Amino acid sequence: MSWLLDIFNFRIVGQYADVFLDGIIATLWISLVCLVLSLFFGVFVALMRMSPIAVVWRIAAAYIQFIRATPLLIQIYLIYYGLPGLIGNFFNETETGIIALTIHTTPYMAEIIRTGILSISHKQTEGAMAVGMSKIQTMYYVILPQAIAKVISPLLGQTVVLLKDTSLLSIIAVFELMGAGLLMFSETVIATESYITTAFCYLTIYLMMLIISGYVQRKLGGANAH
């Protein structure tokens, strides 16, 4: 067994198992909160982007372009240093990180949802209006469910990106999976075990997401095949 310990000291990793477990839970938890928030706001930004009023869609378009053309790291710094100046020290690091990641992910979700909404036939709207639904009802009961079902795989792809993006929050001292790896490295000073374990945990999450998205696509593929 000693040859294996020379290459990869799994005993030290074993000592940090609970730290990594906490890290995985934190990463999944942060991602889940950001996912829900960014889907919720994403629908609104998508609708704003499609608005006929110039001011409204221009604001949405400017927001989308600004986020897409600047690095996430800079956005995190802007929120981390800027938010306390605007509203005071109201949020802790994790909450600040969640806000930054939500602001970053929302435009991507909005663009995906917008493609979904645009792909729904106009007859659906007409049909809904013919049975007396209001515009909001049409959107909520008829268009959005079909639109989101159509773009579910790009949305899941963006969720994987979101999961990976949480690693950058370690730079503003949020504890998540990358933070767990950094903590182990700072305490033990062995790079190999610390970072390979981190990478392995991310890969496990990624593979789980692959399985989930395969399952979802099979489920929805039947209902969506025209």
Partner 1 sequence: MMQWLQLKWQVVDSLLPFLLTGLQSTFEISIIAIICGSLLGAVLGILKTLDSTILRIFINTYLHVFRGTPYLVQLYLIYFVLPSLGIAALEFDSFSAAVISLSLYTASYVTAIVASAVHAVPPGQEEAARSCGMSKAQALFYVVVPQALKLTIPPMASVYVIVIKSTAVLSVIGISELTRQGETSILRMPGDTMFIYGLIAALYFAYCYPVLRFASWAESKVGDKAL
List contacts with partner 1 (CB under 8 A): 65-66, 68-75, 77-78, 81-82, 85, 160, 164-168, 170-171, 178, 181, 185, 191-192, 195-196, 198-199, 202-203, 205-207, 210
> Are 30 and 169 contacting, i.e. CB atoms less than 8 angstroms apart?
yes
Our CB check for partner 1 shows the closer of 32 and 207 to be 207
- Single out the residue of 26, 68, 35 nearest to residue 162, CA to CA: 35
Residues 6+ apart with CB under 8 A from 72: 100, 101, 104, 165, 168
Our CB check for partner 1 shows the closer of 175 and 202 to be 202
Least Å distance, CB 165 to partner 1, is 7
Least Å distance, CB 140 to partner 1, is 28
> Are 65 and 209 contacting, i.e. CB atoms less than 8 angstroms apart?
no
Our CB check for partner 1 shows the closer of 5 and 210 to be 210
Our CB check for partner 1 shows the closer of 134 and 204 to be 204
Least Å distance, CB 136 to partner 1, is 30
Least Å distance, CB 198 to partner 1, is 6
Report the 10 Å Cβ neighbour count for 225.
Answer: 6
Element spanning 137, H or E = helix 135-137
